[in-house]
Amino acid sequence: MKRVLVTGGAGFIGGHLAHGLVRDGHAVTVLDSLATGKRENVPEAAVFVEGDVRERDTVEAVFSAARFDAVCHVAGQASISRSFASPEDDLDTNVLGTLNAIRSCLVHQVPRLVYASSMTAYGQPSVVPTPESAACLPVSYYGVTKLAGERYVQITGDRPDVSLDVTSLRMFNVYGARQSVDNPYQGVLAIFIGNLLRGEPITIHGDGEQTRDFVHVDDVVEAWLRVLERPESHGRVLNVGSGRETSVNDLALGVLATFGESPESWEVRRTEAQLGDQRRSAADTRALSALGWSPSVSFADGLARTVEWARATHGARSAETGVPRD
């Protein structure tokens, strides 16, 4: 059994990770500001501390109250559009918050840190699926801050004067149950599902041929759990994705079909491309696969399960609330 701190453990990914850790018998503490997370996402068996990773004293108090064997630093501002609207907040949360976690790990001699990085670090890669060795040239402020946090983590792990084993996981487009369907800044798949549930048109930015690599949250949790236990992951940056490209146009068709709709029966609007939008995205996962991990949830199955959860949780629309195509 390990004593593990999960920052951002009331959020979508962090909450699932906290549940996975508890399931495997670990003692879990969750630190979350509840700015976007939900208290109900935290396992009952976990210790919950409401607090912001941007506040150094708050983070230090959590580390002072308990001794941890590992820290999973998931907390972060995760919206590309919000990073452009408020780059200072993005910087504070994703960089300063990460530095606070690193500093407390060093002060309290925590031996293990795993960091939630992002595929946005790659920007517009020349090779797809993209390996970890590809150049990182982010095209959004969010990508810049996630890459900066990653570099702080990795450089700290390389320091000869400290004993902190680190790993950064570049996660691609994570989806699944408990992802917010009413947050317009969180995940295109969840946004589309929310549109259908509320009887709203779907909006596609740009030509819709931009691609994403959708990886189910259950597979992501298994990647985190495996990395925590594998010394071979120490000091490394690893992709976590499905390795498959799905265009936004095909995503919209898939969501519509799962609801029994089509572009002929449902209004699909098109508007200008968004700032910082990546054209193509898919993970080369061979490095993580060498550690014994591979994604097990197909996109078709994962989409069906996610829609089923959303309907059960938020209520299916009635036929009369549909938005017909003009």
Q: State how far the Cα of 316 lies from the Cα of 191, in Å rounded to an integer.
A: 15
Contact present, 59 and 100 (Cβ < 8 Å): yes
Which residues are annotated as catalytic?
A: 142
Within 10 angstroms of residue 297's Cβ, the number of other Cβ atoms is 20
Radius of gyration of the chain (CA): 19
Residue listed under structure tokens 């936004």? 248
Helices then strands (H, E): number in the chain? 11, 13
Q: Which residues of 21-32 are buried (b: 16+ CB within 10 A; e: fewer)?
A: bbeeebbbbbbb
Closest CA to 220 of 265, 268, 175: 175
Q: Compute φ and ψ for 31, nearest 5 degrees.
A: -115, 120
Contact present, 237 and 288 (Cβ < 8 Å): no
Closest CA to 194 of 179, 208, 205, 204: 179
Within 10 angstroms of residue 286's Cβ, the number of other Cβ atoms is 12
Q: Which residues of 184-193 are buried (b: 16+ CB within 10 A; e: fewer)?
A: eebbbbbbbb
Contact present, 116 and 167 (Cβ < 8 Å): no
Q: State how far the Cα of 197 lies from the Cα of 11, in Å rounded to an integer.
A: 21
Can the peptide bond before residue 184 be classed as cis, meaning omega within 30 degrees of 0?
no
Closest CA to 182 of 172, 167, 192, 168: 192
